[in-house]
Amino acid sequence: MSETLKKAPTVQTDSPKKKAPQAFPLWARTFSAPRQLEIRQVFSDSFCFVDHDDFHKRGAEKQLFEVLPQVPQPDTSWYRPVIDIPSSKAAKRVVTTPLTGDQEKLLFQQFNYCRFQVYKRREKINSCTAPARKPPKTQLRDMLKWYRRSAEYRDQIAKTNLALVLAMAKRTRMSDMDFGDLISEGNMALLRAVDKFDVSRGFKFSTYACRAILKGFSRSGMKFTRYRQLFPTDFDPKFEKSDYLERCHKDHELDCADEVGQIVSKNHASLTEVEKDVIEHRFALGEAKQQDLDASPMTLEQVGRIIGLTKERVRQIQNKALKKIRVTLENGYLR
């Protein structure tokens, strides 16, 4: 088996001479949404696999899935959604057990064999079934079973190599990009590398995946640069918040203040001279405002010094005058 693995396999795609399969068959519309998603991915033009001579031999399935020792699932309990560059202490807690060369070969052989079986059944359905006619349930069930098995092996390979994304993200120098976006782009590049890796060439997957992840970072950086050229200002959620209510409230306050000013200046509240003087000096209204445009409200003590009363007496006069103004405003102007 090791000798045949050295032969260069080919990536199987739809032949240009044959009729390309539909991206989404008409008969698939009657299924549920999750089943439709699986069928769409199977019949997509981007679906491919790396062929190998051993796949066409008798007993290949038994050899790959029963005779050879199976690879255990990786431990991904250390992985958490990343929002910042992990510290050195957090990096030390990342414990991964790298696969041996034989285990890695076996995983990729199992993954591509499952996709090979999906490809065979897809071609059979395309050649024997009309576009609007459902294929036999046994064929469809068998094809989706192999597709789910291939997805499981794909996830297992990706989980085993999650640490590569973190390692490459710490090596890159894209300080302008968010670290979480960088990790997301690296994970997508890792999945694409799993689909296209040819294990029979004799190289480790980490060698191929690291280059693919760095290339994904480079593409993401170019997109981010173009985005920055179009939108140089950072997004600010405050820009999406309307200040209509605040402006209405402020306009209402200004209108009420103008009404109060007219009541005081024209003495519609029947204020005494002392009460009028207290209100004008206390809130910078009427004659106090006309004499000095920059006049500011005075304290109770300052008003008392001008009028010749104590601070407590000024407060009593102020409350009495404000009550008169409030009654006049509510009964007359607001109505």
DSSP code of 139?
A: H
Residue 251: its pLDDT value, please?
85
Query: 190 or 135: whose pLDDT is higher?
Result: 190
All structural domains of the chain, each given as residue ranges with its CATH number in brackets, are 1-73+95-160 (no CATH), 162-241 (1.20.120.1810), 244-333 (1.10.10.10)
Cβ contact 17:59 at 8 Å? no
Cβ contact 329:259 at 8 Å? yes
Q: Identify the weakest region by mean pLDDT among 30-34, 90-94, 150-154, 205-209.
A: 90-94
**pTM score, two decimals?**
0.60
Query: Mean pLDDT, to the nearest integer, of 101-105?
Result: 90
Side-chain-facing half-sphere of 306: CA atoms under 13 Å: 14
Where in 52-143 does DSSP place strands (E)? none
Can you read off the two tokens belonging to residue 160?
């085993």
Q: Identify the weakest region by mean pLDDT among 158-167, 180-189, 254-263.
A: 254-263
* Average pLDDT in the chain: 80
Query: 249 or 6: whose pLDDT is higher?
Result: 249
* Confidence at 55, pLDDT banded by 50, 70, 90: very high
Query: Nearest to residue 217, comparing CAs of 155, 255, 168?
Result: 168
Q: Can you tell me which residue has the tokens 């390692």? A: 167
Cβ contact 284:244 at 8 Å? no
Query: Nearest to residue 181, comparing CAs of 303, 85, 38?
Result: 85
User: pLDDT of 277-334, one tens digit each?
Assistant: 888 888 877 665 555 656 778 888 888 888 888 989 989 998 998 888 888 877 765 5
Does the pLDDT value for residue 115 go beyond 90?
A: yes
Can you read off the two tokens belonging to residue 154?
């794909």
User: pLDDT of 76-89, one tens digit each?
Assistant: 887 775 544 455 55
State the burial class of residue 58 (Cβ atoms within 10 Å of its Cβ: 0-12, 13-18, 19+).
exposed
Q: Which residues pair with 11 in a beta bridge?
A: 50
Could you tell me how many residues make up the chain? 335
Query: Mean pLDDT, to the nearest integer, of 233-259?
Result: 77
